[in-house]
């Protein structure tokens, strides 16, 4: 799709968000006004220093309400600055504003560190008595969860140093990585593309083009590779230091604690997925037959098996997604319409824009925002449905307030995957051509493989590089490449050839940098969401109110309690196998569709 000839609708060129509500229409100047208000409120709260353990339930509720107001103002300012930066990471003014907000927010936050530490020191019996009071219901789960960090907290002076140094340490390195990856370009057939545009071309049915794209992406990643490896090495060492000081037993333990997931349950998830690597290998063997090649190369994995490369305009995608959500819940479709009509989405690919897609919750008093990089592919339609699910989850959970709006990462994908699956179902139902149905089923299965199996393989890559950095010191580019190739090969088996250029593709993945250990939550969330969708298939309309209750509950309860709202038992040791069986059923459906289309023999 040549950008100079594509229509505005194919490019989604007019779909930009309006961030001004975050600062009450005051622009960048409104950021400091919000932070001034937060600073004054935080100073007022310092009068409780040394007294948290003496507060009764009513007084503690007043303190928590005041803390919520401080967080609200900081999050408004931070969301405005970071979202402005995300659409143009090359603009020095935007970067400076984001850094300014982070520095001021950290300074305010350090004034309030005493509260977390003193609350953690309250005796269990007294804490249980306080949390039994209904006046603390709006923050009860948050306060209970905060006490889980007691073994890992430092003294207040130490915590202040850790927080203040993070601004010029971990956060600064993460920002540098974001700026470096946002400016990567791909030179393809005389045209300069963003990394996002280049990667989207790997879906082309033309193998020669896919090979050129892969070579161009690898060439685009080469400049700055050593710098990105150095950033990664630095952050690996930084996390090792943090974990040692906070007495975490291994590199993933802090993420598991934040996710309210036991180390054992996460190990069980990873082991269950790795034990079924035969699923992606079986699919890639079939896909080689569909594409008419003896064996896939890594650049073939996302190739469309359709006979033609279908494109989708923004208006068509909007109609498809709204129709899908309306088929499940008119209430959800009505809220989704607001995202389009009220400019809560930024969609076009632009130079310097952050790659990928995300939903920013912002604050409960306003609304979420969605960022996409629209390339007019079918995958982009499903990405829109996916991020819309996140947005609807955030919107419905606003009533929980700042302490309970967001869920742990392990449940954060529930609504997004559910919405994507519903949209896929509508697309499939409207497709009667055998070859087109095969293409859709293949694309859905590949989404499952990417989310469950590829993310687990990336978890294993992270595990190896974190371990190597701690045990043997700084890794070279070649060592990063080797760990990436090893963990990818474990998942792909003999079904896919790993080409030399692909060995550097770890170097643009932001999760490794900004949120170490994050990626397994995708597999967790995907398998959970598939189980939730299966319940909807079995129960029909009766399931909808419970599902909406789940979304509206946000993070106000533990993951196990939230799962029970929709009849899911996260404590069941066989839970992961059930979700993996659903993925296997999709593989079987794709195998049957391949035969039905006449593309492969029975």
Angle (CA) 519-524-529 rounded to 5° is 125
Instruction: Give the C-alpha separation, 270 to 515, whole Å.
Output: 18
Look up the pTM and report it. Answer: 0.83
Higher pLDDT, 413 or 405: 405
8 Å CB contact between 517 and 509: no
pLDDT mean over 456-470: 98
Confidence of residue 307 (pLDDT cuts 50, 70, 90): low
Cross-strand bridge partners of residue 192: 187
Give me the pLDDT at residue 530, please.
Answer: 87
b/e map of 59-78 (b: 16 or more CB within 10 Å)? ebbebbebbbbbbbbbbbbb
- pLDDT by residue (tens digit) across 148-159? 999 999 999 999
Question: What are the Cα distances from residue 51, in Å, to 59, 63, 133, 481?
Answer: 11, 11, 19, 53
pLDDT mean over 34-57: 96
Angle between helices 170-182 and 156-168 (to 10 degrees): 20
Domains of the chain, residue spans? 20-168
CATH class of 20-168: mainly alpha
Percent of the chain with pLDDT over 70: 99
What are the backbone angles phi and psi of residue 451, rounded to the nearest 5°? -80, -40
Question: What are the Cα distances from residue 596, in Å, to 8, 154, 283, 464, 592?
Answer: 38, 63, 16, 43, 6
| Three-state DSSP string of 525-541 | HHHHHHHHHHHHHHHHH
Instruction: Give the C-alpha separation, 579 to 397, whole Å.
Output: 26
List Cβ neighbours of 325 (8 Å cut-off, separation of 6 or more): 332, 333, 336, 385, 388, 392, 419, 422, 423
Give me the pLDDT at residue 437, please.
Answer: 83
List Cβ neighbours of 543 (8 Å cut-off, separation of 6 or more): 535, 536, 566
Give me the pLDDT at residue 508, please.
Answer: 95
Going by C-alpha positions, the residue among 53, 74, 75, 77 that lies closest to residue 63 is 53
- pLDDT by residue (tens digit) across 219-229? 999 999 999 99
| Chain centroid offset of residue 230 CA | 24
* pLDDT higher than 80, residue 3: no
Give me the pLDDT at residue 578, please.
Answer: 83
- pLDDT by residue (tens digit) across 551-582? 999 999 998 899 899 988 887 777 888 889 98
Going by C-alpha positions, the residue among 133, 150, 129, 141 that lies closest to residue 62 is 133
Give me the pLDDT at residue 540, please.
Answer: 92
Higher pLDDT, 366 or 196: 366
Higher pLDDT, 5 or 9: 9
Q: Which residue has the tokens 């960090």?
A: 149
Confidence of residue 5 (pLDDT cuts 50, 70, 90): low
Give me the pLDDT at residue 61, please.
Answer: 98
Confidence of residue 379 (pLDDT cuts 50, 70, 90): confident
Give me the pLDDT at residue 306, please.
Answer: 76
- pLDDT by residue (tens digit) across 327-375? 999 999 999 999 999 999 999 999 899 888 999 999 999 999 999 999 9
How would you list the strands of the sheet with 345-348, edge to edge?
345-348, 369-374, 358-360
């Amino acid at each position: 799709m040549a950008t100079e000839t594509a229509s505005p609708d194919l490019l989604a060129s007019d779909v930009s968000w309006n961030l001004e509500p975050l600062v009450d229409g005051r622009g960048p100047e409104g950021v400091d006004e919000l932070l001034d208000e937060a600073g004054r409120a935080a100073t007022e709260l310092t009068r409780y220093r040394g007294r948290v353990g003496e507060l009764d339930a009513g007084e503690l509720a007043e303190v928590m309400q005041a803390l919520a107001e401080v967080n609200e103002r900081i999050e408004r300012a931070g969301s405005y600055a970071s979202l402005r930066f995300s659409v143009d990471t090359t603009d020095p003014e935007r970067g400076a504003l984001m850094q300014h907000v982070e520095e001021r927010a950290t300074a305010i936050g350090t004034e309030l560190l005493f509260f977390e530490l003193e609350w953690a020191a309250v005796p269990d019996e007294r804490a249980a008595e306080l949390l039994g009071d209904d006046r603390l219901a709006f923050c009860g789960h948050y306060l209970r969860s905060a006490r889980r960090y007691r073994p890992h907290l430092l003294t207040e002076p130490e915590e202040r140093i850790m927080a203040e140094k993070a601004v010029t340490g971990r956060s600064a390195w993460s920002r540098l990585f974001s700026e470096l990856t946002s400016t990567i370009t791909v030179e393809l057939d005389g045209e300069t593309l963003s990394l996002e545009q280049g990667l989207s071309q790997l879906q082309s049915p033309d193998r020669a083009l896919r090979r050129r794209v892969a070579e161009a992406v690898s060439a685009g990643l080469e400049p700055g590779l050593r710098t990105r490896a150095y950033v990664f090495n630095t952050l690996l060492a930084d996390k090792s230091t943090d974990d040692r000081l906070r007495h975490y037993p291994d590199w993933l333990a802090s993420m598991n604690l934040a996710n309210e997931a036991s180390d054992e349950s996460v190990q069980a998830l990873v082991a269950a997925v790795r034990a079924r690597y035969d699923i992606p290998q079986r699919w890639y063997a079939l896909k080689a037959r569909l594409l008419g090649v003896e064996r896939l190369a890594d650049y073939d994995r996302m190739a469309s098996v359709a006979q033609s490369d279908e494109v989708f305009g923004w208006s068509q995608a909007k109609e498809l997604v709204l129709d899908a959500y309306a088929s499940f819940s008119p209430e959800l479709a009505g809220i989704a319409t607001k995202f389009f009509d009220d400019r809560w989405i930024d969609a076009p690919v632009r130079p310097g824009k952050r790659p990928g897609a995300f939903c920013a919750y912002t604050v409960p008093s306003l609304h979420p925002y969605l960022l996409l990089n629209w390339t007019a592919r079918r995958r982009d339609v499903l990405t829109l449905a996916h991020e819309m699910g996140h947005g609807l989850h955030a919107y419905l959970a606003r009533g929980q307030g700042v302490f309970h709006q967001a869920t742990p990462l392990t449940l954060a994908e529930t609504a997004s995957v559910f919405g994507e699956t519903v949209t896929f179902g509508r697309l499939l139902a409207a497709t009667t051509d055998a070859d087109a149905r095969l293409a859709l089923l293949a694309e859905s299965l590949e989404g499952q493989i990417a989310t469950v199996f590829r993310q687990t393989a990336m978890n294993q890559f992270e595990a190896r590089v974190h371990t190597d950095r701690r045990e043997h010191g700084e890794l070279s580019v070649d060592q990063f490449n080797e760990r990436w190739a090893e963990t990818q090969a474990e998942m792909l088996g003999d079904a896919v050839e790993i080409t030399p250029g692909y060995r550097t593709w770890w170097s643009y993945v932001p999760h490794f940098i900004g949120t170490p250990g994050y990626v397994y939550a995708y597999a967790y969330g995907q398998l959970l969401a598939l189980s939730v969708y299966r319940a909807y298939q079995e129960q029909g309309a009766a399931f909808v109110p419970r599902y909406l209750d789940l979304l509206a509950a946000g993070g106000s309860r533990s993951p196990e309690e939230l799962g029970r709202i929709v009849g899911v038992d996260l404590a069941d040791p066989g839970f992961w196998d059930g979700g993996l069986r659903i993925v296997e059923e999709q593989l079987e459906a794709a195998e049957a569709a391949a035969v039905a289309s006449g593309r492969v023999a029975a």
